[in-house]
Structure 1
């Protein structure tokens, strides 16, 4: 009997090299998409990098709100750098092949940064809740030690969970098609390529989506319901307007990011559309990092003043 005829499943999986189809169905738009996404990537890095730099250099931007904003901007730069450079390389070279290890690393980083963003957005909502609903106790509650703990917890909490989820997915045998109809290695399109039952993986995916998506989203909704209730009780119309302006940008980022993420990872498998999945992924991996500095800086007088001072110097 020849044992070479049928290699073990482990060897099958290790020898896998995936193909990221990305936007292969629109070859006529190849260079337009390349230019578009390259421009977006440069805008994201420059705008988020500027906010991060301003919050570190300007003494007027040393409050907890800007400490969280600096971490959020840094996170957005890391998040987008996991997917966009690979997408640009695939558009430019048309190679599209990605080894299993690189695919697993990309998925793990996307999940880790995405989970961190969910938690950090809820922390930022809590910060606004304390600032508006308990202004006299704000310096005492949001002290430097608590801010460090909240940010560290947001960064660290998702690491073991997402590593475990990625390991669980890439322990599966992939012996069918190797084409991933996506522009990065995401959970739903990769699970479709496994040649075994993925029910356990899907259940784990839903559990993680609830823990890092639904729970933080509900906490944010709770924070903003309290904030709105407090704002409506303010005697001054100017105070109400200023409070709404401070929080509206956060709400817009939250709705854009959580809406697309929750729909992507909590949709029933029967309703999964690969094209819809790609469009939704563009929202939470590219559009949110691009809109974040616009929504936070152009609507914030302190950031604009800090930018003017930096440019004058």
Structure 2
């Protein structure tokens, strides 16, 4: 009874708490049923009552079909066309396709998959499906070149706002497309009481065969940071500066020792950055009671810069 009351005070029912703990121990990822790349029909999402949570199901990785328009057999059956643009060598056509992708309405912005019902969309590219469909419907050969070679996934970078969203997306797309992705940015949110690393997401990223660039942005709350005294500006400047570092060195050590992160190999560029809150509470000025509060320029400390460099060297050395 006491445990139940304590769980309710923490805002979580005992049964839900046990279920979440069981999912954490499970190697599989759980998500709301919905989009699947090769599903013959969309899995209906049952409406849940007010105040209730949708039932999550284990997310199984998509297996490439052996038949149909998405199969390699169908692509191999297309007779190469020898007219006009399609007479050019494939390598030359790929260069032209790359410039065509750059001319899409999203420009150089990354694709940011967001879930909306049983579909994905990107805020910076709302008509992504319409533009790409018009392009590869020019002919069967263009479809094979563009979709079969996963050119969109090769030449566009992807950004995910959370590890859960990364898993929800990469688990349900064509494995060929997943393995063609070269650049990913992953945002991780730390809380004062939770600095857990997304091991499932890191494990999945280690299976992306063509991944060359990985940027990890860890958003840390103000309570997890330690700030230096403000450097007062010289006479010819009106900019205040200070440095920051994480107040708990165990978090840094946990990142260094993360085996699932170290298992990601083949990276040519790796960057890990701690992102501070956009707004710093006026209570932040408690360290400087005689200083009029003006947001200073906040820079990483020498130890934090050294940590960034160490992680970059470790990750880029794993070929």
For the criterion TM > 0.5, the same-fold answer is no
TM-score computed with the length of structure 1 as normaliser? 0.24
Whose relative contact order is higher, 1 or 2, with alpha carbons under 8 Å and at least 6 apart?
Answer: 1
TM-score computed with the length of structure 2 as normaliser? 0.24
**Higher CA-based Rg:** 2
More helix by percentage? 1
